[in-house]
C-alpha cells in the first residue's frame, strides 16, 4: 500500500548560501527527492586537506549504496586541523535519511515552493543515490546541499493552497524535513489528484466517502473559518469586520456585527483537525464583550486549561449550536455543531442561491455522491 509524505525543501547548506528558493526547481528538473546531511557540511571545513581527500574518495564510492553512507557516518573518524578526531553528525545517521531510503514504489511526496504545491510519485526505477560532486567544481548540488537523493520521481505542479487539501497544506507547518502525512483522507486525495494531473490511473481510488471527517480533512484552516462565516451570513446576515482578522488575535478569528444592531459584536473561534492542538478552553473567552461561537471539527472543548473536565455537549436533533457558558459580561458562549455545518456545506454545493466560496465547494467533486440529500437549512 502506498503512503504519502511531505518534504521541506530547505537543506541547511542551501539556507547558508541563501539559495533555498532554488531547491524545489532543482528537484523538479532532476526528477528527484533530495534532502541534506551531506558530507560537505558539519565537520567538513574543520578537516585537514589530507582527510578531505580521503573523505572524497569514500564519498565517491557511495553511489546507490546507502550502507556505505551509513558506514562513513557511524564508523569513520577524520582528523581536524586542530588535531582532533571527529565523526560526521556525531556518528548518527539522521532519521530523515533513513525515511528517504525507505521510500517505496507508488509512494507520493508533496513539496511546496514560492506558494506552489507539487506532487511526486516514486516509480519502479526510483532508488537511493548519493550524488557525488568534486569539490573543485562549482556544482549546484553542492551549493544546495542535495547530494542525498531518491531518483526517478514523476512530478506534477498541482497549484496554490486553494487547490490543495487542508491536511496537506497544514503538514508544511514546521516539523522535520521528511515526514509521513497520516491524517484521514490525505493519502486518498493525493492519489486522486495524482491520477488527475498525470492523466493516468496509477491508483484505484477515485472518490472519498462523503462524510464530515473526510470533508474537513480537505478544508484548510482558512476554508473552515470561511465556511462558518458564510453560514452566519446566510442564517443571520452577520457581517465580518475585515480589520479584525489578525494573526495576533489568537482568542478569536475575527469579529462580526449583526445587520440588525451594529453595536452587538460576535466573536468566532475555529479549529480544524483531530489532534490535541485544536482543543478549545472556555475560560479563554470569558473576557470578550459579545456573543462567542466556538467550532472544533475534531477536538474537545474544556472548561479550563488544566483539562480536568471535558465539556459534554449534546446537539439535539443535529441542532447547529448549543449554549455552553457565558462571558464575564453575561454574553452567551456557544459550541457549533461540526456535523450540522457540514450538512450546510452540502446543501450549498447543490443550491447555487447559497453564497459560498468555490475553494470550499470544489472538494465535493472528490466525495462520493449520496443516495439521498439531506437539507437542514
| Helix residue spans in the chain (DSSP H) | 12-16, 23-30, 49-60, 66-74, 95-101, 140-144, 166-169, 186-198, 212-218, 221-236, 338-350, 358-361
pLDDT for position 25: 96
Q: Is the pLDDT of residue 247 over 70?
A: no
> C-alpha angle 66/173/108, rounded to 5°?
45
What is the rounded CA–CA span in Å between residue 245 and residue 113?
Answer: 26
Q: What is the pLDDT of residue 376?
A: 40
Q: Where are the domains of the chain?
A: 4-198, 216-340
The pLDDT of residue 278 is 76
Any idea which of 94-98, 143-147, 295-299 has the lowest mean pLDDT? 295-299
pLDDT at 276: 61
As a whole number of angstroms, the distance between CA 355 and CA 375 comes to 16
Burial call 31-45: b when 16+ CB within 10 Å, e when fewer? bbbbbbbbbbbbbbe
- Whether 146 shows a pLDDT value over 50: the answer reads yes
Q: Work out the pLDDT band at 248, boundaries 50, 70, 90.
A: low
Average the pLDDT over 161-190 and give the result: 94
Kindly tell me if the per-residue pLDDT of 275 is higher than 90.
Answer: no
**Residue among 133, 137, 130, 111 at smallest CA distance from 27:** 111
How high is the pLDDT of residue 360? 96
Within its chain, how far is the Cα of 180 from the centroid? 10
| pLDDT value of residue 377 | 40
Distance CA 160, CA 115 (A): 6
> How many Å apart are CA 133 and CA 261, to the nearest integer?
69
**pLDDT score recorded for residue 371:** 46
299/279 Cα distance (integer angstroms): 5
Average pLDDT over the chain, rounded to an integer: 92
Q: pTM of the entire structure?
A: 0.88
Q: Lowest-pLDDT range, 29-33, 97-101, 116-120, 181-185?
A: 181-185
pLDDT at position 374 = 38
Q: What is the pLDDT of residues 65-91, one digit of tens each?
A: 999 999 999 988 999 999 999 999 999
Give the chain's count of helices (H) and strands (E): 12, 18
At residue 373, does pLDDT exceed 50?
A: no
- Is residue 372 pLDDT above 50, yes or no? no
Mind giving me the DSSP string for 293-338?
Answer: EEEESSS-EESSTT---B-----GGG-SEEEEEE-TTS-EEEEE-H
- Judge whether 98 and 75 are in contact, CB under 8 Å: no
DSSP 169-210: HGGGSS--SEEE--STTHHHHHHHHHHHHHTS--SS---B--
Nearest-angstrom CA–CA distance, 298 and 253: 18
Assign 270 to helix, strand or coil: strand
Tell me whether residue 208 is exposed, middle or buried, using C-beta atoms within 10 angstroms of its C-beta: 0 to 12, 13 to 18, 19 or more: buried
pLDDT for res 250: 73
DSSP summary character for residue 216: H
Q: How much of the chain exceeds pLDDT 90, in percent?
A: 81
Q: How far apart are CA 230 and CA 340, in angstroms?
A: 14
DSSP, collapsed to helix, strand or coil, labels residue 88 as helix
Q: Which of 262-276, 309-323, 338-352 has the weakest average pLDDT?
A: 262-276
Amino acid at each position: 500500500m502506498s503512503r504519502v509524505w511531505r518534504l521541506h525543501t530547505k537543506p541547511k547548506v542551501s539556507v547558508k548560501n541563501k539559495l533555498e528558493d532554488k531547491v524545489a526547481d532543482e528537484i523538479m528538473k532532476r526528477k528527484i527527492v533530495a534532502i541534506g546531511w551531506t558530507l560537505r557540511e558539519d565537520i567538513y571545513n574543520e578537516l585537514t586537506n589530507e582527510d578531505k581527500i580521503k573523505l572524497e574518495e569514500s564519498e565517491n564510492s557511495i553511489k546507490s549504496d546507502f550502507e556505505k553512507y551509513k558506514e562513513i557516518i557511524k564508523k569513520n573518524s577524520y582528523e581536524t586541523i586542530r588535531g582532533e578526531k571527529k565523526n560526521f553528525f556525531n556518528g548518527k545517521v539522521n532519521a530523515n535519511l533513513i525515511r528517504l531510503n525507505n521510500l517505496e514504489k507508488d509512494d507520493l511526496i508533496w513539496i511546496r515552493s514560492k506558494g506552489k504545491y507539487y506532487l511526486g510519485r516514486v516509480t519502479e526505477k526510483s532508488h537511493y543515490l548519493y550524488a557525488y560532486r568534486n569539490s573543485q567544481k562549482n556544482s549546484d548540488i553542492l551549493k544546495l546541499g542535495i547530494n542525498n537523493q531518491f531518483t526517478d520521481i514523476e512530478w506534477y505542479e498541482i497549484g496554490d493552497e486553494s487547490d490543495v487539501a487542508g491536511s496537506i497544506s497544514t503538514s508544511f507547518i514546521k516539523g522535520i524535513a521528511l515526514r509521513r502525512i497520516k491524517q484521514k483522507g490525505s493519502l486518498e486525495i493525493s492519489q486522486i489528484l495524482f491520477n488527475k494531473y498525470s492523466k493516468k490511473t496509477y491508483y484505484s481510488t477515485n472518490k472519498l466517502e462523503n462524510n464530515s471527517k473526510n470533508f474537513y480533512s480537505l478544508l484548510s484552516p482558512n476554508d473552515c473559518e470561511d465556511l462558518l462565516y458564510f453560514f452566519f451570513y446566510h442564517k443571520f446576515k452577520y457581517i465580518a469586520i475585515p480589520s479584525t482578522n489578525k494573526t495576533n488575535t489568537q482568542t478569536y478569528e475575527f469579529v462580526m456585527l449583526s445587520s440588525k444592531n451594529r453595536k452587538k459584536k460576535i466573536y468566532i473561534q475555529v479549529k480544524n483537525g483531530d489532534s490535541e492542538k485544536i482543543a478549545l478552553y472556555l475560560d479563554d473567552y470569558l473576557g470578550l464583550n459579545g456573543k462567542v461561537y466556538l467550532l472544533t471539527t475534531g477536538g474537545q472543548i474544556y472548561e479550563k486549561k488544566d483539562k480536568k473536565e471535558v465539556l459534554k455537549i449534546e446537539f439535539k436533533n443535529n441542532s447547529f449550536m448549543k449554549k455552553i457558558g457565558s462571558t464575564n459580561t453575561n454574553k452567551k458562549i456557544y459550541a457549533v455543531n461540526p456535523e450540522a455545518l457540514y450538512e450546510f456545506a452540502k446543501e450549498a454545493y447543490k443550491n447555487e442561491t447559497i453564497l459560498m466560496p468555490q475553494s470550499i465547494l470544489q472538494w465535493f467533486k472528490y466525495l462520493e455522491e449520496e443516495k439521498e440529500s439531506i437539507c437542514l437549512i
